[in-house]
Amino acid sequence: MLLDRIATEIQQSGPLFFDRFMELALYDPDGGFFGSGDLRSHRGGDFLTSPEVSPLFGATLARFAAAERDRIGGLDAVVDCGAGSGSLLAGLVADLPGVTAVAVEVSPAARAAITTRLPEITVVKDLAAVGRLPRGVIVANELADNLPAAVAVRTADGWEEEAVAIVGDRLGPVRVAARPEVAAWAERFAPGLPAGSRVEVQLGAAQWLRSALQTIAAGAVVMIDYGDTADGLRHRRAQGTVRTYRAHHLGPDPLL
Ligand SMILES: C[S@@+](CC[C@H](N)C(=O)[O-])C[C@H]1O[C@@H](n2cnc3c(N)ncnc32)[C@H](O)[C@@H]1O
């Protein structure tokens, strides 16, 4: 059971940084939220995304991709990362005849849903499998904020991290010294916060963006996600912004 494997890793190595915990909770092939189980992004699943609600989402991005094709003199492929059920991709390919489309999706259930819906589309497990594209458009709707993030907590004189430990007979949060790269990220993107503030440090999203930019020589990477400016997020820092969903309801505690 995944919870046992998480507990074993904590017993062997000490508290897990939140991004490591999130990686296991999301991607474990035997119990992870995306790595196993049913399709999550649809009405019968755990959350709904905008492309599920309207085909105009994909059609709008198709217009953008067509403009990129005209701008750079062709398109080798349009790539949808974290393609979910394929709703966005369906709208994209319908309005981009002749353009090769690729879905990147970590979830086996989502990959199966895409293949059933769009049998002509190539579906791969990660962006590295796409290879280098001289001319490409990469889209990612609601991917970046799924990628593992560390949680930094502001102290009177610097930063700590919130890690996951075994507290009593269940998982619980503990404070540990912040890794230098986590403290540097928090200080850079969320400076001047009062002690106790929580900052999600999205090293995974930054790494993904670097990989996406390295995948194409010309074209564009389009990321669409929830977010705010540093100022806009200030009032949410006391609670932090980590959220979980099950059956379309907000979870009470990410560690559950
Ligand atoms: C919030 S859903 C968005 C789905 C789709 N883009 C949409 O708009 O309906 C996030 C999707 O990203 C996938 N995902 C999460 N992490 C991923 C990763 N590292 N690589 C590829 N796909 C990932 C999940 O399996 C899930 O299908």
What does the mean pLDDT of the chain come to?
Answer: 95
Section 28-38 average pLDDT: 94
Whole-model pTM: value is 0.95
Q: Which residue, by CA, sits nearest to atom 12 of ligand 1?
A: 82
**Model confidence at 234: pLDDT above 90:** no
**Model confidence at 186: pLDDT above 90:** yes
- What is the per-residue pLDDT across 124-173, written as a single tens digit (0 to 9) for each? 999 999 999 999 999 999 999 999 999 999 999 999 999 999 999 899 99
Q: Which percentage of the chain shows pLDDT scores above 90?
A: 85
Ligand 1 centroid to 82 CA: how many Å?
3
125: nearest Cα among 111, 103, 105: 105
Question: Of the residues 43, 80, 106, which should be mutated to test ligand 1's pocket, given the most ligand atoms within 8 Å of the CB?
Answer: 106
Minimum mean pLDDT range among 43-52, 142-151, 175-184: 43-52
Would the CB of 105 count as within 6 Å of ligand 1? Answer: yes
Ligand 1 centroid to 178 CA: how many Å?
28
Question: Of the residues 105, 207, 248, which should be mutated to test ligand 1's pocket, given the most ligand atoms within 8 Å of the CB?
Answer: 105
- Determine contact, residues 88/80, Cβ cutoff 8 Å: yes
Ligand 1 centroid to 21 CA: how many Å?
18
Would the CB of 253 count as within 6 Å of ligand 1? Answer: no
